[in-house]
Amino acid sequence: MVQSRQLGVPVLDPVANLDSLAFDNRFTAALPADPDTSNRRRQVHGAAFSRVEPTPVPAPSTLAWSPEVAELLGLAPELCASQDFAVVFAGNRVPAGADPFAANYGGHQFGRWAGQLGDGRAIALGEVLDRHGNHQTLQLKGAGPTPYSRRADGRAVLRSSLREFLCSEAMHHLGVPTTRALSLVATGESVLRDVLYDGNPRPEPGAVVCRVAPSFTRFGNFQLPAARGDLELLRQLVEFTIRADFPDLAAESLGTFDEAVAAMFQDVCRRTAALVVEWMRVGFVHGVLNTDNMSILGLTIDYGPYGWLENFDPGWTPNTTDADTRRYRYGAQPQVAHWNLLQLGNALLQLTDQADPLEAALDHYSQSYQRGFRNMMAERLGWARPRDGDDALVNELMGVLTSAEIDQVLFFRDLARVPVDRDGRLSDEELIAPLADAWYRPEELVGEVRARLAGWLRLWAQRVVEGGLDDEERRRRMDALNPRFVLRNYLAQEAIDAAEQGDISLIGELLDVLRRPYDDQPGRERFAARRPEWARRRVGCSMLSCSS
């Protein structure tokens, strides 16, 4: 790749073919590799990764690709439409310069230490330089077995791959930190999966999604060597991560290694707090917040049994495996993230005798999250900035939203259309009318529920007036934080149903709609509609398993 310049910033020229991708494999060059190169399931000690080649598939065919990610990587549309694109991103051909590997990590799953986990179905082709000279790891999910596959086959089905492809891009356009998705490639083979883990497996079409991120390092990458007492590997991982993923920290004169570790951990806590605030804003429920699914960069990572909160229910989880304890329910995500950070802090503590800075970083998470949540709620409710007394008003809103089955996406978006009653002349009906579409069961909007909502709207309007924004500016700012379009669970399932029958048109249409989630997009109102009745309890629209 040749460098050109754009507005004074070096920009790498477009990729001529996939063999000219600018691979710069820092991770595999700097960290110890598994000396055993056989692709057999095993416990891997003393190594950060295992080199492994993707397993070819019979008939790779590109179903969709992200123009934005392709542009970031310097891939022209005609290259993305080529057969070689499908061949490479299905795993049938390893491009020149790639150094494929599966990472070795452990983690806590549902609160219990699970030991070695690792990339069981994901194989990174390696790290490339994007058009701006930044590192991006290209990772193929569903590209075949690795030493970490345990009893699994290393493959992925179209169902879960399509959900990850669409949601990765939807989250990016919503402004939520996330891994990205370059491509969705069908494999031409069937994969046997038990979607509900109820003893009824069936063959499903296979697929591979290419995930893209500056780093796929997880909390669990540090936890595993810490649990094994392998402090040499742990220290190497920390030093590499600071150098590669936190260059601002590496460039500073932090002094001692202990200070560098504490600074990195505080940054991870800050990023994680900001991430969870964004999840809570858009109503995203990760579904499986194990420590191995937490990104060191504060990115949303591993789109498994995730779900979008449609009717407002803080106790809802999309994960069938979590149905009994609801550990990973929407309302618990801030606390679970804190617990996961504590486990990461415990791992890092093995490298330093300075516990106080790590404890201070955990406290920083709590403070940062609370501050971020208050700021976010004040903005999305049209109050401009938080002030004393807002918590009580927000808590009352949560009570209103749980008093009936209310679509939270529609409620927050349409709240900007509620008239601000500055002189007390509007009736309850006039205040409530703009929110009518948010009720799944309009017959519930009566009596105490109706009176409570109207009472809150009057308090909300008073607070809007005190916030000082004129109506036009207030609506603009509210609309910038409250999306009209999200990847509703039933929309993803509709796209899956169509794709399994050979119709991929809805994938492209959804990708386009979700590219502008804060715009009204006339003619596409159906993609903003509340969940239809047929989707209330259907698998894929209500709850999902980890089956992928």
Active site members: 292
Measure the CA–CA gap between 506 and 499, rounded to whole angstroms.
Answer: 8
The closest of 104, 91, 100, 94 to 34, measured between CA atoms, is 104
At 530, the amino acid letter reads R
> C-alpha angle 51/161/70, rounded to 5°?
75
> What are the φ/ψ torsions at residue 219 (nearest 5 degrees)?
-55, -40
Q: Give long-range contacts, CB 8 A cutoff, 24+ apart: 249-253.
A: none
Q: How many helices and strands (H and E) does the chain possess?
A: 18, 13
Distance, CA of 122 to CA of 155 (rounded, Å): 9
Give the sign of the dihedral formed by CA 217, CA 220, CA 224, CA 226. positive
Q: Given the structure tokens 């119709």, which residue do they identify?
A: 503
CA distance 187 to 62: 9
Long-range contacts of 396-403 (CB under 8 A, 24+ apart): 396/456, 396/459, 397/456, 397/460, 398/312, 398/314, 399/452, 400/452, 400/453, 400/456, 401/312, 402/312, 402/313, 402/314, 403/448, 403/449, 403/452, 403/453
Please enumerate in sequence order all residues whose Cβ is within 8 A of that of 484, keeping only pairs 6 or more positions apart, or say none.
409, 413, 517, 518, 519, 520, 521, 528
CA–CA dist 352, 358 (Å, integer):
10
Residue 77 three-state SS: helix
Cβ atoms < 10 Å from Cβ of 445: 17
* Measured CA angle at 125 (ends 300, 512), to 5 deg: 50
Distances (CA, A) of 521 to 36, 282, 517: 54, 19, 9
Give the Cα separation of 500 and 485 in Å (integer).
Answer: 24
Tokens at 498, concatenated: 């169509």
Report the phi/psi class of residue 157: left, alpha or beta, with left for phi > 0 and alpha for psi in -120 to 50: beta
CB 123, CB 140: distance < 8 Å: yes
Cβ neighbours, 10 Å, residue 3: 10
Centre a 10 Å sphere on the Cβ of residue 86 and count the other Cβ atoms it contains. 24
How many Å apart are CA 178 and CA 540, to the nearest integer?
A: 22
- DSSP code, position 55: P
The CA distance from 72 to 183, in Å, is 13
